[in-house]
Chain A
Amino acid sequence: MIAIVDYGAGNIFSVKNALDYLGFESGLVSDCDSIKAADAVILPGVGAFPAAMKMLEQSGLIGTIKEEASKKPFLGICLGMQLIFEKGYEFGECDGLGLIGGSVRKMDETELIIPHMGWNKLEKLNDCPLLENVGDDEYVYFVHSYKAHCSDSDIAAYCEYGGRVPALVYDGKYVFGAQFHPEKSGETGLKILKSFGGLI
């Protein structure tokens, strides 16, 4: 069972719909025991970094998420990916989950149309099990205004938008983070989710 963490942020039904379509058993969960019992965890999310961390904290989920992400496949999507890092700088500094080293900062508004909205090409940087079936010319759907700053060694794939934007991060063990929305990225996104489900 894949636990989709429901902490009141974002369109979680899209993730559930995609997993249903692929034939993976999944459920929307909001308590520690369900996360512990699951075979894999997905942390979705749209909205603001501090608000999301606050909601996770109020739900008492932070400790469990940190612990379980070291034991079973864990995928953060969009804001859920940003929360993986140590710090966020949206309306001031805010601690993240700290599963991967790095921070999340606003993209350059003076040079770019913000949000970064639409389909952008995945450029592979490091091996990652979620990209095994993804070719060299595939696009995924992004919508975000902040981006991760982290070590190249944690970046499985990036895209170009006013410089490199970490698209898929991977700690080499269980923690994955997708800045794009695999559940909204057509066939390519479904392949990525299928690979994630296949890790169970």
Chain B
Amino acid sequence: MLAKRIIPCLDVRNGKVVKGVNFEGIRDVGDPVECAEEYNRQGADEIVFYDITASFEGRGVFLDVVRETAKKVFVPLTVGGGIKTVDDIRETLRAGADKVSVNSQAVKNPQLIKDGADIFGSQCICVGIDAKKIADHKWTVYINGGRVDMKLDLIDWVHQIEQLGAGEICLNSIDADGTKNGFDIEMLKAVCNNCNIPVIASGGAGKIDDFSEVFEKTGATAALAASLFHFRELTVQQVKEYCRNRGVIVR
């Protein structure tokens, strides 16, 4: 049986790991390659690097981090942040990423999803979505790190993403992100019920049973967290043991 995946995410700026709370108040801690190796030892099923560097120079440093990690860590690496063109996707995959995660740019230019999937295969195109609730069972998609409301209906966007050939969705709840009150179960359920590709739950994990809850109550096939693992409040191993004891299949 397919195991549920536990995915630690590392936000990287200028070659260093950072973690924002609600996208603000960033602290600077740690070497990303070492962090990735540690997550690998803990049993992480994939590792996500998110580049929050804004400069051209920073991008080079970031890709070096990906390159170094790919030489030492033999689990899938997903890279997000700053990917705007097919050439950016190519460059990122060549640095050793297995998947790219596109977010804002995919909303601005949905063709990027189709072109990326056609050229490199659906399996390496993950579409990241930041969404926020506006009414009962209704959410809209935001871009630019959750700052700009695109007035785009979440479920419409999910349908469009799947049609364009995305291989996976990483769904981040702006309402839940940074709260540590658990994943956004209602939003995840809505998305999982409306698509046939894997969905990664993101945003809100604060305690160990948030992980088993998201797998028990929604169709998410993976759960992602950053600060929880980064500040060692929990290890990936602890989360997996807990899930396993609750009857969730994990590696």
- What are some 5 contacts across the A-B interface (CB < 8 A)? A11-B98, A117-B167, A145-B122, A160-B1, A161-B1
Is A55 on the interface with B (CB-CB < 8 A)?
A: no
Contact A21 B3 (CB under 8 A): no
Contact partners of A11 in chain B: CB under 8 A: 93, 96-98, 124
User: A141 near B: Cβ within 8 Å?
Assistant: yes
In the complex, the answer to whether A117 meets B123 with C-beta atoms within 8 Å is yes
On whether the beta carbons of B75 and A117 are closer than 8 Å, the reply is no
Contacts of B121 in A (CB 8 A): 10, 46-48
Q: Is the interface of A mostly helix, strand, loop or mixed?
A: mixed
> Which of B5, B74, B94, B98 is A21 in contact with, Cβ under 8 Å?
B74
Q: What is A's interface to B at a CB cutoff of 8 Å?
A: 10-11, 13-14, 17-18, 20-21, 46-48, 109, 113-121, 139, 141-145, 159-161, 181, 183-186, 189-190
Query: Known contacts A109-B196, A119-B5, A186-B40: does B93 contact A143 (CB below 8 Å)?
Result: no
Is B154's beta carbon under 8 Å from chain A? no
Apart from A117-B167, A119-B5, what 8 extra A-B contacts exist at CB < 8 Å?
A113-B219, A115-B122, A120-B2, A139-B3, A145-B122, A145-B123, A160-B1, A184-B76
Q: Is the CB of B167 within 8 A of A143?
A: yes
Residues from chain A with a CB closer than 8 A to the CB of B74 are 14, 17-18, 21, 183-186, 189-190
Query: What's the minimum C-beta distance from B120 to chain A, rounded to whole angstroms?
Result: 7
Q: Which residues of A contact B167 (CB under 8 A)?
A: 115, 117, 143
Contacts of A141 in B (CB 8 A): 45, 75-76
Closest to A112 in B: B196
Size class of the B contact interface (CB-based, 8 Å): 20 to 34
Given A17-B96, A47-B120, A109-B196, A119–B251 Cβ distance below 8 Å? yes
- Counting from the closest, the 8 A-B pairs by CB-CB distance are A139-B251, A143-B123, A119-B251, A119-B3, A47-B121, A46-B121, A117-B198, A120-B2
Interface residues of B in 56-92 (CB under 8 A from A): 70-72, 74-76
* The one of A10, A20, A47, A113 that contacts B221, using a Cβ cutoff of 8 Å: A113
Question: A193: shortest Cβ distance to chain B, in Å?
Answer: 9
Contact (A46, B120) CB under 8 Å given A117-B221, A186-B40: yes
Q: Which residue of B lies closest to A182 (CB)?
A: B74
Q: Does B130 contact A (CB under 8 A)?
A: no
Residues of B within 8 A of A116 (CB): 2
Contact call A118/B221, Cβ cutoff below 8 A: yes
Q: Give the docked Cα–Cα distance between A115 and B167 (Å).
A: 7
Question: Is the CB of B197 closer than 8 A to any CB of chain A?
Answer: yes
